């Protein structure tokens, strides 16, 4: 997964790493719980005690003034995928007819509404600061174009922003770098 983020054009399918993490995590937790239940030694106190021991250090750091930032979702849409903007065929290249069509910001927000709502709730309850990349990526209007500058795509694939776009146009992380 880390290599995928470092080289998104070379290594495909990095999102599979997240799925694998959740499968392994679920398997391990389930295995531990089933073993403890089978051996009649399961207790909610012990289960949550382990979770607290794992999470508590981060909570203490935050309580001591460490800042916690949560990044809301990056917009994802098939119009942002350069692989779908231009396709190759035997007769040459074909540019998608709606390649320059802007995507409504409300549609982009709706895709990740549930996850963003959870992050907002966590921020409310913990004091974490929310960072929203969407205004930097899409601007302040009601729609988001897939291109920047001289007509270059913002994304290297349907999910990952191109480093040149990030370097030149994204500012939502600036407060972290001061």
| Cα distances (angstroms) measured from residue 167 to each of 8, 80, 137 | 16, 18, 12
Tens of pLDDT, residues 116-136: 998 898 888 878 889 999 999
What's the token pair of residue 50?
């382990």
Identify the domain boundary among 9, 37, 64: 64
Question: Distance (Å, rounded) from C-alpha 67 to C-alpha 64?
Answer: 9
Question: Distance (Å, rounded) from C-alpha 144 to C-alpha 140?
Answer: 9
Same domain, 86 and 158: yes
pLDDT score at 105: 94
Give me the mean pLDDT over the 37-44 stretch. Answer: 90
Beta-carbon contacts of 114 under 8 Å, excluding residues fewer than 6 positions away, are none
- Nearest residue to 148 (alpha-carbon basis) of 158, 135, 159, 137: 137
Same domain, 76 and 144: yes
Same domain, 98 and 161: yes
pLDDT score at 170: 86
Beta-carbon contacts of 132 under 8 Å, excluding residues fewer than 6 positions away, are 71, 72, 172
User: Is the Cβ–Cβ distance between 147 and 162 less than 8 Å?
Assistant: no
Same domain, 53 and 135: no
pLDDT score at 144: 93
Question: Distance (Å, rounded) from C-alpha 119 to C-alpha 47?
Answer: 24
Question: Distance (Å, rounded) from C-alpha 72 to C-alpha 123?
Answer: 11
pLDDT confidence tier of residue 3, bands split at 50, 70 and 90 = low
Tens of pLDDT, residues 73-102: 888 888 888 888 888 778 888 888 888 889
Domain span holding position 46? 1-64
Tens of pLDDT, residues 131-148: 999 999 999 899 999 988
Same domain, 74 and 37: no
pLDDT score at 38: 92
pLDDT score at 12: 63
pLDDT confidence tier of residue 169, bands split at 50, 70 and 90 = confident
pLDDT score at 8: 59
Same domain, 45 and 87: no
Same domain, 133 and 149: yes
Same domain, 95 and 146: yes
Asked if residue 11 has pLDDT above 70, the reply is no
| Cα distances (angstroms) measured from residue 63 to each of 1, 58, 164 | 31, 9, 37
Asked if residue 161 has pLDDT above 90, the reply is no
Whether pTM > 0.75 for this model: the answer is no
Same domain, 17 and 104: no
Same domain, 81 and 161: yes
pLDDT score at 6: 55
């Amino acid at each position: 997964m880390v290599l995928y983020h470092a080289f998104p054009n070379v290594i495909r399918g990095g999102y599979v790493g997240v799925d694998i993490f959740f499968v392994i995590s679920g398997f391990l937790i389930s295995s531990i719980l089933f073993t403890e239940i089978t051996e009649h030694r399961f207790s909610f106190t012990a289960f949550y005690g382990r979770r607290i021991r794992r999470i508590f250090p981060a909570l203490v750091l935050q309580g001591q003034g460490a800042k916690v930032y949560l990044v809301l979702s990056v917009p994802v849409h098939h119009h942002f995928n350069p692989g779908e903007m231009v396709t190759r065929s035997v007769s040459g290249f074909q540019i998608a007819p709606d390649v320059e069509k802007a995507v409504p910001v409300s549609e982009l927000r709706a895709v990740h509404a549930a996850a963003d709502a959870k992050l907002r709730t966590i921020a409310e309850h913990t004091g974490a600061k929310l960072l929203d990349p969407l205004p930097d990526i899409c601007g302040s209007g009601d729609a988001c174009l897939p291109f920047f500058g001289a007509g270059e795509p913002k994304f290297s694939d349907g999910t990952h922003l191109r480093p040149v776009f990030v370097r030149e146009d994204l500012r939502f992380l600036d407060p972290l770098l001061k």
